[in-house]
């Protein structure tokens, strides 16, 4: 006779084995590795919470210390491969297979380990896509998560960094998986319940707070005049004519420049209240002046940002906050918002090819996708109209039937023609293709595909790809803003001139911007200290950003 | 001086006003209308939980009974406009503006009210898209939700019908909104915590359980031989060659036929374990025989289905269930899974035009979108490969660069050439266009756009639109499976023959299916009673489906 409760029985057995080490649900940190050996089974799918911000670092170390004879061949299914220990798990033979989304600081080592066959790669995902698979075919058997505090029933308080936790826990706990949380402290009553205790099986009290990376802080002091120029072009040439209110910004210096130009350059253009009022965005410190100037109505956040806690708490009209006053972030909902409720995604990249495909991969680094491909793709399931979306759709297909013509998400790539270390942004062929060939991947790790990109902004101007009618126009529009890179110098000058006459390419002077005006004096804040000042002392930057 | 806690102060004032009617958080049902008058303000955005399944019917009635001099011009932002009272709110002047996703049973009246200017329409959305906007620009001030039980702290138990509740509550509670829950009973301790109490401000004990509609039950007795034939074609002609494991099924009889053919016809083809193993799906009773025959590994559900509770509880290896044993559904996550983790969406529709656009709208009915456009669109943000997805991509673009070629979601429309009451499925022009013109909409309510559709299946055969190289081939491929409808009779016989030779059109005999074999004897269950039998008596169909 078939049994249909095998998963439930297996979970009960795991919990029973772990309970020997616990008082109620609470396990001493010293017993964390024994807990892993008691609960985790060879071949398990394990989600180790580690996104691009907070890290379940204690549980990771505990898992790393298991006896590989007892716990081995794990299939890690996790947002971020960020800590060195995440990869040590594979070196030690504890883990075998990997499905993930992001690997910023480990991008070089992960590439090396993939080349060396040390890791069996499932796939590289976007966050939302990996979350989706948690409910279909990558459901974790064990989730190792991080929270600020827990009570003795296992109710968890995540504080501002809720991030992926509700999603991971829901997929695991309701499909017969075991949820283990590391917390900074066990308390009598949590300030708010981010995760109900009946979904949490074990709580480990860590001796130090979980690690959080300040990933979204850009020092205004490092913003260049060329970045300011691209920001001015974007505001006047894209935000204004489309009237983009609902949007997401990437994390680079170009979009930081835009954030700091809104209350100055944007204000002069009379755009306040007309653009950039509703964001799906982490709490970028660079947005403080725009918030304080009354530009921003509402921000929903993927995660939080180190140092922003008190500022957010004092600005509950703008941010989503809990009854305890602190931010409630949620990566799954914010990614969904970025996909379906935003009219624009704007961000920078490392390489753009002649079709407009872009990638942050180099031949020796696999940074993963994070959330950009999700937000930077046309959402074909979208059915609600908005003026920016409809206008982009009209530009793409002016002859189409009015009623059957869909709108288009604005997907903007912004950067200087030569990036860091003078490396050209534009290339004939993406490094991602070489990497895919070397790794025998089924498709190249393209961040944003050319057919989803609507605009490319450089200091040379704006290429509006929506107005291109074929592949060769598209190529020349890209070459036309590629400056003195090889790709730029390979342009067909006559065709580029023709595209400019049609408004496909717009130079700064075509929209009355004088590049000489792109001055650091335009920035609403020119240093981290200025941001602190704007915040009324509420923003508390991490020490590495303080030079006073 | 600017204040940044206006929302929080306003919420405190609302809660204080409501608290006068409450004992702790609990409000007597007789005071529900007074609670509305105390808490809801003119012009508020209000989410009245009402999706396609469960309904916060008591709170709806309470809102309807307010004094419109006190509460008026509400902006309703809700998944479903399903109960007559949802529209009465507009007739009474309590509500003014509407953003919604689905309006099945009210589709005729909603159209009439829109024609008459009784409702100011925001937009018609898919579920996930509306959820996304809850976090960006349609955040509710007040959420009126439904749960099975609450404790005195406001912790909620939703039972199997969790559905939209966590999403609605998260958007409202963390952005200074007020959450009011109707529950079937107030208890000392809830069986599991679906919504933590600190997100819930008031609890109203209803005198009868909230209304749930059995929307996903299809009586096998009503399945026709022609539907069986289309099901056989889909299984042998699409499921098998693409090897589709992760999928979503629509709610019509054609996909019910497929579900009942898997353990018979599918088994004979040796497909068990090779296709249809992982679903994003409501708990369709018609899937019971496939589950019992070991076809289905895992199902994540949008909502539940009346009568399936005990069956689900006894099959926790297949379904997501809580510590209490009952289903944990979640519409937001399941829609995300349908979008990003499924390789195929297959469903039926009312009208298909010559470009393959489809719609369930008629000139006098606006049924809304529900979830189909989200799941039935190519997910361009997807980055993980799978064999079905890659194969579809290759068929669409055989000449493309291997590494830069994306895969494609399989989006299959299935139906008979003549539907109910002998109305043709294929039309030259969708009724949706007339409706959009009459209502002055900015775009026609198209359910699935032709450029997202990959296959159309009728009793005449399968049209594989991926293999069409231009619009005229596409049109002839569609005409080629449109039978004796006007569209079908307008085919270019020579071109259709040519398309058949190329495998673009495949007739039943082309894949060795004899239409005479399409017999009701092929169905694993031929009645609701058979389904009960398959379930070992665990499935308890609602009385309207019982004739014994």
Instruction: Kindly tell me if the per-residue pLDDT of B420 is higher than 90.
Output: no
Residues B171 and B320 occupy one common structural domain: no
Residues B280 and B184 occupy one common structural domain: no
- Terminal CA-to-CA distance of chain A, rounded, Å? 73
Q: Please tell me if residue B387 touches chain A, with a CB cutoff of 8 Å.
A: no
Q: How deeply is B160 buried, as exposed, middle or buried, from its count of CB atoms within 10 A (0-12, 13-18, 19+)?
A: buried
Final residue belonging to a domain, choices A212, A233, A268: A212
Instruction: Kindly tell me if the per-residue pLDDT of A51 is higher than 90.
Output: no
Q: Please tell me if residue A494 touches chain B, with a CB cutoff of 8 Å.
A: no
Final residue belonging to a domain, choices B187, B212, B237: B212
For residue A264, what pLDDT is reported?
98
Is B341–A129 a contact, with Cβ atoms under 8 angstroms apart? yes
The verdict on residue B439 lying in a domain is yes
**What is the Cα–Cα distance from B182 to A467, expressed in whole angstroms?**
52
The verdict on residue A547 lying in a domain is no
**Residue A485 token pair:** 């890179």
Q: pLDDT tens, B433-465? A: 999 998 889 999 999 999 999 999 999 999 999
pLDDT bracket for residue A420 (50, 70, 90):
confident
Q: pLDDT tens, A446-486? A: 999 999 999 999 999 999 999 999 999 999 999 999 999 99
Per DSSP bridges, beta strands A344-347 and A298-300 are unpaired
For residue A523, what pLDDT is reported?
98
Residues B393 and B482 occupy one common structural domain: yes
Q: pLDDT tens, B136-157? A: 999 999 999 999 999 999 999 9
The structural domain count of chain A equals 2
Residues A207 and A295 occupy one common structural domain: no
Instruction: Kindly tell me if the per-residue pLDDT of A384 is higher than 60.
Output: yes
Instruction: Kindly tell me if the per-residue pLDDT of B397 is higher than 90.
Output: yes
Residues A147 and A264 occupy one common structural domain: no
The verdict on residue A12 lying in a domain is no
Residues A133 and A248 occupy one common structural domain: no
pLDDT bracket for residue B51 (50, 70, 90):
confident
pLDDT above 70 covers a percentage of chain B that reads 100
For residue B302, what pLDDT is reported?
97
Q: Please tell me if residue A247 touches chain B, with a CB cutoff of 8 Å.
A: no
**What is the Cα–Cα distance from A486 to A505, expressed in whole angstroms?**
18
| Maximum alpha-carbon separation in chain B | 80
A436 vs B contacts (CB less than 8 Å):
403
Q: What is the mean pLDDT of chain A?
A: 96
For residue A52, what pLDDT is reported?
78
Residue B131: which domain range? 21-212
Q: What is the ipTM of this complex?
A: 0.97
Final residue belonging to a domain, choices A212, A246, A268: A212
Residue A353: name the closest of A450, A272, A274, A457 by CA: A450
For residue B328, what pLDDT is reported?
98
Q: Kindly report the nearest CA distance between residue B108 and chain A, in angstroms.
A: 20
Residues B463 and B503 occupy one common structural domain: yes
**What is the Cα–Cα distance from A546 to B483, expressed in whole angstroms?**
74
pLDDT above 90 covers a percentage of chain A that reads 92
Q: How far is CA A417 from the centre of its chain?
A: 23
Name the residue facing A383 among B124, B315, B433 (closest C-beta).
B124
Is A129–B340 a contact, with Cβ atoms under 8 angstroms apart? yes
Residues A172 and A258 occupy one common structural domain: no
For residue A75, what pLDDT is reported?
98
Residues 6+ apart with CB under 8 A from A487: A354, A424, A426, A427, A428, A478, A479
The verdict on residue B376 lying in a domain is yes
The verdict on residue B265 lying in a domain is yes
State which H helix or E strand residue B143 sits in: strand B142-150
Instruction: Kindly tell me if the per-residue pLDDT of A122 is higher than 60.
Output: yes
**What is the Cα–Cα distance from B56 to B46, expressed in whole angstroms?**
13
For residue A2, what pLDDT is reported?
60
Return the minimum-mean-pLDDT range out of A60-64, A535-539, B213-217, B422-426: B213-217
**CA distance readout (Å), A65 to A118, A210, B73, B266, B318:** 18, 18, 61, 47, 33
Q: How crowded is the C-beta side of B490, counted as CA atoms within 13 Å?
A: 13
Name the residue facing A436 among B332, B390, B403 (closest C-beta).
B403
Q: Please tell me if residue A517 touches chain B, with a CB cutoff of 8 Å.
A: no
Residues B205 and B296 occupy one common structural domain: no
Helix-strand-coil percent breakdown of chain B, rounded to 5?
A: 40, 20, 45
Is A278–B406 a contact, with Cβ atoms under 8 angstroms apart? no
Residues B206 and B229 occupy one common structural domain: no
Q: Please tell me if residue A394 touches chain B, with a CB cutoff of 8 Å.
A: no
The verdict on residue B88 lying in a domain is yes
Residues A205 and A228 occupy one common structural domain: no
In chain A, whose CA is at the least distance from the CA of B324?
A: A198
What number of other Cβ atoms are within 10 A of residue A390's Cβ?
19
Residues A470 and A514 occupy one common structural domain: yes
Residues 6+ apart with CB under 8 A from B206: B29, B58, B182, B183, B184
In chain A, whose CA is at the least distance from the CA of B191?
A: A198
Q: pLDDT tens, A24-42? A: 999 999 999 999 999 999 9
Q: What is the CATH number of the domain that holds B201?
A: 3.40.1080.10
> Across residues A62-73, what is the average pLDDT?
98
For residue B2, what pLDDT is reported?
60
A405 vs B contacts (CB less than 8 Å):
443
pLDDT bracket for residue A488 (50, 70, 90):
very high
Q: How far is CA B164 from the centre of its chain?
A: 12
Q: pLDDT tens, A351-383? A: 999 999 999 888 788 888 999 999 999 999 999
> Across residues A264-277, what is the average pLDDT?
98
For residue A367, what pLDDT is reported?
85
**What is the Cα–Cα distance from A399 to B493, expressed in whole angstroms?**
30
Q: How crowded is the C-beta side of B77, counted as CA atoms within 13 Å?
A: 26
Q: pLDDT tens, A272-311? A: 999 999 999 999 999 999 999 999 999 999 999 999 999 9
- Return residues 14-53 of B near A (CB < 8 Å): none
The verdict on residue A19 lying in a domain is no
For residue B52, what pLDDT is reported?
78
8 A C-beta contact, residue A274 and residue A244: no
The verdict on residue A486 lying in a domain is yes
Q: Please tell me if residue B446 touches chain A, with a CB cutoff of 8 Å.
A: yes
Is A126–B294 a contact, with Cβ atoms under 8 angstroms apart? no
pLDDT bracket for residue A490 (50, 70, 90):
very high
């Amino acid at each position: 006779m078939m049994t249909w409760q095998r998963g439930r029985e297996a979970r009960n057995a795991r919990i029973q084995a772990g309970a020997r080490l616990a008082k109620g649900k609470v396990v001493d940190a010293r017993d964390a590795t024994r807990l892993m050996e008691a609960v985790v089974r060879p071949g398990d799918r394990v989600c180790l919470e580690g996104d691009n911000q907070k890290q379940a670092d204690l549980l990771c170390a505990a898992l790393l210390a298991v006896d590989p004879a007892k716990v081995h061949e794990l299939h890690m299914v996790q947002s971020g491969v960020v800590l060195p220990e995440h990869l040590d798990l594979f070196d030690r033979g504890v883990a075998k297979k990997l499905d993930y989304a992001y690997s910023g600081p480990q991008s070089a080592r992960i590439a090396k380990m993939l080349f060396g066959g040390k890791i069996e790669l499932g796939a590289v995902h976007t966050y939302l896509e990996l979350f989706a698979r948690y409910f279909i075919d990558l459901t974790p058997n064990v989730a190792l998560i991080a929270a600020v505090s827990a009570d003795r029933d296992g109710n968890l308080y995540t504080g501002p960094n809720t991030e992926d936790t509700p999603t991971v826990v829901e997929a695991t706990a309701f499909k017969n998986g075991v949820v283990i949380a590391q917390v900074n402290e066990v308390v009598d009553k949590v300030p708010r319940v981010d995760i109900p205790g009946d979904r949490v099986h074990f709580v480990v009290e860590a001796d130090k707070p979980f690690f959080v990376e300040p990933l979204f802080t850009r020092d205004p002091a490092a913003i260049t005049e060329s970045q300011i120029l691209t920001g001015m072009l974007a505001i006047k040439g894209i935000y204004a004519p489309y009237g983009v209110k609902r949007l997401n910004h990437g994390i680079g210096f170009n979009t930081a420049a835009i954030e700091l130009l809104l209350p100055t350059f944007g204000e002069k253009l009379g755009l306040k209240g007309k653009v950039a009022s509703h964001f799906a965005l982490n709490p970028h410190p660079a947005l403080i002046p725009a918030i304080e100037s009354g530009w921003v109505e509402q921000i929903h956040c993927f995660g939080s940002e180190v140092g922003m806690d008190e500022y957010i708490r004092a600005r509950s009209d703008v941010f989503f906050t809990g009854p305890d006053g602190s931010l409630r972030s949620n990566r799954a909902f914010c990614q969904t918002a970025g996909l379906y409720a935003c009219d624009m995604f704007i961000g920078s990249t490392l390489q753009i090819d002649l079709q407009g495909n872009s990638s942050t991969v180099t031949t020796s680094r696999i940074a993963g996708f994070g959330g950009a491909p999700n937000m930077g793709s046309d959402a074909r399931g979208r059915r609600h109209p908005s003026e920016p979306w409809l206008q982009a759709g009209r530009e793409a297909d002016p002859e189409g039937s009015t009623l059957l013509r869909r709108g288009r998400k604005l997907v903007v790539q912004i950067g200087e023609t030569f990036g860091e270390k003078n490396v050209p942004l534009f290339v004939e062929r993406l490094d991602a293709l070489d990497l895919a060939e070397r790794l025998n991947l089924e498709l190249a790790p393209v961040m944003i595909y050319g057919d989803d990109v609507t605009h490319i902004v450089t200091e040379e101007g704006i290429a509006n790809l929506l107005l291109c009618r074929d592949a060769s126009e598209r190529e020349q529009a890209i070459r036309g803003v590629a400056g003195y890179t090889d790709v730029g110098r390979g342009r067909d000058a006559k065709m580029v001139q023709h595209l400019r006459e049609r408004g496909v390419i717009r130079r700064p002077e075509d929209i009355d911007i004088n590049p000489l005006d792109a001055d650091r004096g335009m920035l609403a804040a020119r240093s981290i200290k200025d941001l602190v000042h704007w915040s009324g002392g509420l923003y508390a930057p991490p020490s590495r950003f303080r030079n006073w």
